Chains A and B, each alone.
Chain A
């Protein structure tokens, strides 16, 4: 297992289009997190899953955003009707569960540019 994988690395889309990103966590990790990082800022929490259950969503996650983790393994993040303000790096992270005091493992991110 080589870590957390995210696909694609880069996505350019026109305003109004839908986009979907994928994250494959470390296989034995049952927690999966999505964060958003805008240019020059620190990452901000969006949502997280414990296995297949989505347990918390940030107020940053508008109705246009939806995340799934259907079998408790990989996750997808979809943005509908993209806006220029959605341009950011979307980071996925995973952790083994309760012992997240020890930090997560992050993927390399998907950079979204909405034109």
Chain B
């Protein structure tokens, strides 16, 4: 079956520090990959996506590259802000499945201190 593994949090950084949140996946097919962000008390928001190998998704200074050889989709940001404090979820969608359901990792809480 499909699964997603993320590094456990919380990750605590100072403002302007470099961020990496690791994500690896297991999929029997050829999935699309996503990062979602969840701010306190809110639903999930799509942060970025990649649909094929070597694609780089980017948004709001965050980036992630679809690495098929290492089955990874690590999230990076060069300089984090306090407003980036949230829980980040890596997810995959198996395109062989007509319903395109998402399989999520457990989430990584990021705390950015001023």
A and B: bona fide binding partners: yes
- Structural contact, A41 and B107, CB atoms closer than 8 A: yes
- Residue of A43, A95, A108, A109 near B100 (CB, 8 A) is A95
Distance between Cα atoms of A100 and B98 in the complex (Å):
10
A5 CB, nearest partner CB in chain B, Å: 10
- Residue of B4, B44, B101, B103 near A91 (CB, 8 A) is B44
With a CB–CB cut-off of 8 A, which chain B residues contact A40?
A: 106-107
With a CB–CB cut-off of 8 A, which chain A residues contact B89?
A: 42-43
Binds A, one of B13-21, B45-53, B62-70: B45-53
Q: Is A107 an interface residue (CB 8 A)?
A: yes
B46 CB, nearest partner CB in chain A, Å: 4
Within 8 A of B (CB), among A29-87: 31, 33, 35, 40-45, 48, 55-56
Which chain B residue shows the least CB distance to A97?
A: B100
With a CB–CB cut-off of 8 A, which chain A residues contact B101?
A: 33, 45, 48, 56
Could you count the A-B residue pairs with CB atoms below 8 Å apart for me: how many are there?
60
Interface centre among B34, B43, B103 (most CB of A within 10 A): B43
With a CB–CB cut-off of 8 A, which chain A residues contact B103?
A: 45
With a CB–CB cut-off of 8 A, which chain A residues contact B34?
A: 103
Q: Is B91 an interface residue (CB 8 A)?
A: yes
Chain B positions 16 through 58: 1 when the CB is less than 8 Å from some CB of chain A, otherwise 0 = 0000000000000000101010000111111001010000000
- Residue of B43, B49, B104 near A102 (CB, 8 A) is B49
B73 CB, nearest partner CB in chain A, Å: 14
Chain A interfacial positions (CB closer than 8 Å to B):
4, 6, 31, 33, 35, 40-45, 48, 55-56, 91, 93, 95, 98, 100-109
Chain B interfacial positions (CB closer than 8 Å to A):
4, 32, 34, 36, 41-46, 49, 51, 89, 91, 93, 95, 98-107
* Extra pairs beyond A35-B102, A100-B93 (19, CB < 8 Å): A4-B43, A33-B101, A42-B104, A42-B107, A45-B102, A45-B103, A48-B101, A55-B98, A101-B32, A101-B49, A101-B100, A103-B34, A103-B36, A103-B46, A103-B49, A104-B102, A106-B36, A106-B44, A108-B41
